[in-house]
A = this chain, B = another copy of it.
Amino acid sequence: MLQSKIAGHYSQAYDTQLHGIVIRVLEMCSLVKKQLDDALSAFIDGDRELAQRVVDTDRRVNTYEVDIDEHCIDILVRRQPAASDLRLVLTILKIINDIERIGDLAESIARHVLQESGERPNSAQINDIEEMGTRTRIMLRQALESFEKMDAADALDVLQQDKAIDNDYARILRHSLTYMLEDTRQIGRSMEIIWVARALERVGDHARNICQYSIFLSKGYNVTHSSDDEMKNIISGND
C-alpha cells in the first residue's frame, strides 16, 4: 500500500505527519471494504455470528473517522499546508465521511440479518442481492483504488458504474413489489430485501462521491455536480 501514488504525494516538509494520516485512511478503507464484504456474506448465508461481528466493528470505523479528522485539523492549524498538500488534507476530510457512512450501511445490512425472524429470503431474492452486492463491492474497491492512485481517468470510469447499481435497485424493487402482490405473506420478507438493496444503492452513491473527490485531488476541480461530459473535459484538458 505504501507504494501507492498517494502515499508519496505530499511534500517532504509534512512527511511524517501526512504519511501517518494517509496510512490511517488506507487502513480505514480496508476495514470498511471488509465490513461490506462480511455484511453481504452474513446476509447471503444467514450467518448471525458474522453479522454480529460487523455490528461490533462499526465502533472501530467511527474511531478512525474522529481520529483522522482531528489529525487533519491539527495539520491545518499547525502547518498551514498549501497547494497539493492542502488539497490532500481537504480530500481526506471529505472522503472519510463517505467511508464512515458506507460502514454504517454495512452495519445496517448486518442488523437486518440479526433481526430476521426465522424465515430466510428465497433463492431468487438472495441471487438478486448477491448480484447487486458483487457489483457494489467491485465499484467500491475500484473507487478506493482510484483515490489511492490519484487516477482521475480511472475515477471517472468507476463513477459511471453507479448507473448499473441504480438499475439493479430498480429491478429488485420491481421484483419485490410483484412478490408482495402475489402473496401478502411475502410482504415482510420483500421489504427486507428492498432495504438491503437500498443500502447497496446508497453505498454506490458514496463510492461515486469518492470518485469525485479523487478527481478533485488529482485535478483540483470540484466536480460534485458536473455532468459526465464536463468531467471528461476536465480530465482530458488537464492531462
A60-97 contacts to B, CB under 8 A, are 62-63, 65-66, 69-70, 73, 76-77, 80, 82-83, 86, 90, 93-94, 97
* A126 in the interface (beta carbon within 8 A): no
Partner among B93, B177, B184 whose Cβ is within 8 Å of the Cβ of A191: B177
Chain B residues lying within 8 Å of A222, measured Cβ to Cβ, are 66, 69-70
Number of A interface residues in the complex (CB < 8 A): 27
Among A76, A83, A86, A94, find the residue whose CB has the most chain B CB atoms closer than 10 A: A76
Closest to A76 in B: B86
Residues of chain A touching chain B, judged by Cβ–Cβ distance below 8 Å, are 62-63, 65-66, 69-70, 73, 76-77, 80, 82-83, 86, 90, 93-94, 97, 177, 180-181, 184, 187-188, 191, 222, 224-225
Please provide the 4 A-B residue pairs with the shortest distance between their CB atoms, ordered closest to farther: A62-B225, A80-B80, A181-B184, A180-B187
